[in-house]
Amino acid sequence: MTIQNSQFLARLWRFAGAFSVRTKIMGIVLALVLLLGVGITVQVRSVLTLALEQRLQEQSISVARDVAARATDLILVNDLFSLHQLLVETQLNNPDVRYAFVTDSNGTVLAHTFGPGFPQSLLEINTVASSDHHHTILLDSDEGLVWDTAVPIFDGKAGVARIGLSEAGMQATVTTLTGQMLLTTVMVSAVGIAAATLLTWVVTRPIIELKQAAEAVGQGDFQQYVIPWAGDEIGELAEAFNAMTADLAQAEKERAEREHLRSQLLEKVITAQEDERRRIARELHDETGQSLTSLMVRLQMVNQQCPLPDIQEQLDDVRTLVAQTLDGVHNLAVELRPSVLDDLGLAAALHRYVQDYQVRYPVEVDLVVMGLEERLPSAVETAVYRIVQESLTNIARHAQAQTASVLLECRNGRIRTIIEDDGVGFDWDQVKENGRLGLYGIRERAELLNGVLTIESTPGQGTSIFVEVPL
């Protein structure tokens, strides 16, 4: 039972907490006004009804005794006409009197106000002893409740006077008063709603400003400043918020400075790497390549001048080895810094790299380039080329893939690169713990250009790398 109560309270709290502060304040004020108004109305109606019923009962006794006293002489002289007039005057002078009649000591009706016919069943409903002061009962009629009072006349020797007072007038009075009090409650509720609206505006306006400022801070705007409305708790909250935003702005400024310095350092490191790659590629091409070419020419000349067949065969083997070494040096120079990237641009360099890649590795690569009609900035071309190069290298070394695809799209001032494979995939969390320099190199090159890198991989389901870089 306790658990059910706790769950009910929790659901009730969540339901109430879903409303705004303004709605809560207005709801509380309106509920209090309505509760107070309805409570007072019910209490006043109950007290008033009780008091009027007591007064009506006393009036019934008073009127009945008055009729009994005035009817004594009329009965003794047998003046039935005057007795009837007495009853009619009594009914006219008392609007609440529903009926009046007088009976003799034998129970015979001497006079009444019922018009042509007297209801005989009324005689036995209320009786009074000669020694009683009066006897009053409450009757239920078609027109409402009636207080019926019987009073003995001349100690019951002359008869009995019966008066019936209706509660219709009393009920009309109670209903009128209740309606007036309910109208007053409605008017007070309207005033309460207006006061609650003003109160909620005063109370929640600074809270709403704090909320809007907090949302702006959440979006990275640390220049927000909230004006404290007063020196209360909300004002102190506004001052604390302003202090927090000032600290966040200072922290963001320091972070941006550190990030700028890191980017500058990373840019210099990558630039130095590319320059060093370009220098080494040029030396391999110009010096090592030329030396190996000269060596091949001289071996050819020695082979032609040598008359010994065994020596010529060995010279051919050496020339073949030198040719393979020259091809390896050429491929290494191209990988270090492809000249086609500087001469023809990113698209041509990628097509050339993919062709050479498929010759060296048993992976079928599908390359699609879209929207790249013009040359991109050199830093962007180099970064994207290295990202694709490193990704394909990782596929050849680790993915065990049969096919791979590279999509390069330039649109809306951004260049998007997608590299996918059907290899074995990997656990990204585990890779982050162990560290893989290739992936970190891709991330650093993307962040250097304010780009976004997303890696999706599941063991056994391949890998997808998404890189988006603004131009």
Residue-wise pLDDT tens digits, 84-125: 898 888 888 888 888 889 888 888 888 888 887 888 888 888
- φ, ψ of residue 235 in degrees (nearest 5): -65, -40
Q: Within a domain: residue 99?
A: yes
Q: Tell me the one-letter amino acid at 360.
A: R
User: Which pLDDT score, from 0 to 100, does residue 336 have?
Assistant: 61
Helix (H) or strand (E) holding 56: helix 21-76
Residue 386, CA atoms < 13 Å, CB-side half-sphere: 24
Q: Within a domain: residue 11?
A: no
In terms of C-beta density within 10 A (0-12 exposed, 13-18 middle, 19 or more buried), how is residue 282 classed?
middle
Mean pLDDT of 309-336: 71
The pLDDT-based confidence of 13 (bands split at 50, 70, 90) is low
437, pLDDT greater than 70: no
Name which of 12-16, 259-263, 300-304, 328-332 the model is least confident about: 12-16
User: Which pLDDT score, from 0 to 100, does residue 292 have?
Assistant: 67
Mean pLDDT of 318-334: 71
143 versus 75: the higher-pLDDT residue is: 75
User: Which pLDDT score, from 0 to 100, does residue 207 have?
Assistant: 74
Mean pLDDT of 2-29: 67
Tell me the CA distances in angstroms from 125 to 57, 87, 103, 106, 112, one per residue in order.
Answer: 17, 20, 14, 16, 16
3, pLDDT greater than 70: no
In terms of C-beta density within 10 A (0-12 exposed, 13-18 middle, 19 or more buried), how is residue 351 classed?
middle
pLDDT digits (tens, 9 = 90+) for 371-394: 877 887 777 888 888 888 888 888
CB within 8 A of 45, min separation 6: which ones? 174, 177, 178, 181
177, pLDDT greater than 60: yes
pLDDT digits (tens, 9 = 90+) for 412-429: 888 899 999 988 888 766
Domain containing residue 147: 17-177
User: Any idea what the CATH number is for the domain that residue 35 is in?
Assistant: 3.30.450.20
| Total domains present in the chain | 2
136, pLDDT greater than 80: yes
In 77-146, which ranges are continuous DSSP H helix? Answer: 80-93
| Eight-state DSSP code of residue 65 | H
Q: Within a domain: residue 48?
A: yes
Mean pLDDT of 433-437: 55
Which residue among 161, 177, 193 closes a domain?
177
Q: Are 102 and 75 in contact (CB under 8 A)?
A: yes
DSSP SS3 for 134: coil
CB within 8 A of 403, min separation 6: which ones? 363, 364, 365, 366, 421, 422
73 versus 274: the higher-pLDDT residue is: 73
Which residue among 144, 177, 210 closes a domain?
177
10, pLDDT greater than 70: no
Calpha distance 304→363 (Å, rounded): 42
In 337-451, which ranges are continuous DSSP H helix? Answer: 339-343, 346-360, 378-394, 428-434, 437-448
Mean pLDDT of 290-297: 71
The pLDDT-based confidence of 157 (bands split at 50, 70, 90) is confident
User: Which pLDDT score, from 0 to 100, does residue 141 have?
Assistant: 77
The pLDDT-based confidence of 351 (bands split at 50, 70, 90) is confident
Q: Within a domain: residue 460?
A: yes
The pLDDT-based confidence of 398 (bands split at 50, 70, 90) is confident
- As a whole number, the mean pLDDT across the chain is 79
Calpha distance 147→322 (Å, rounded): 134
Mean pLDDT of 231-242: 76
pLDDT above 70: percentage of residues in the chain: 83
Mean pLDDT of 286-311: 71
Mean pLDDT of 20-39: 76
User: Which pLDDT score, from 0 to 100, does residue 21 have?
Assistant: 67
Calpha distance 59→57 (Å, rounded): 5
Q: Are 406 and 388 in contact (CB under 8 A)?
A: yes
Q: Within a domain: residue 189?
A: no
User: Which pLDDT score, from 0 to 100, does residue 45 have?
Assistant: 81
**Partners of 153 in the beta sheet?**
159
Q: Within a domain: residue 216?
A: no
Q: Are 459 and 427 in contact (CB under 8 A)?
A: yes
211 versus 43: the higher-pLDDT residue is: 43
In terms of C-beta density within 10 A (0-12 exposed, 13-18 middle, 19 or more buried), how is residue 179 classed?
exposed
**Partners of 166 in the beta sheet?**
146
How far apart, in Å, do the first and last CA atoms of the chain sit?
65
Q: Within a domain: residue 75?
A: yes
DSSP code string of 274-340: HHHHHHHHHHIIIIIHHHHHHHHHHHHHHHHH---HHHHHHHHHHHHHHHHHHHHHHHHHHHHS-HH
8, pLDDT greater than 70: no
The pLDDT-based confidence of 266 (bands split at 50, 70, 90) is low
User: Any idea what the CATH number is for the domain that residue 449 is in?
Assistant: 3.30.565.10
Helix (H) or strand (E) holding 146: strand 144-153
pLDDT digits (tens, 9 = 90+) for 66-90: 888 888 888 888 888 888 898 888 8
User: Which pLDDT score, from 0 to 100, does residue 50 have?
Assistant: 86
Q: Within a domain: residue 157?
A: yes
Which residue among 133, 149, 177 closes a domain?
177
Nearest-Å Rg of the Cα atoms of the chain is 54
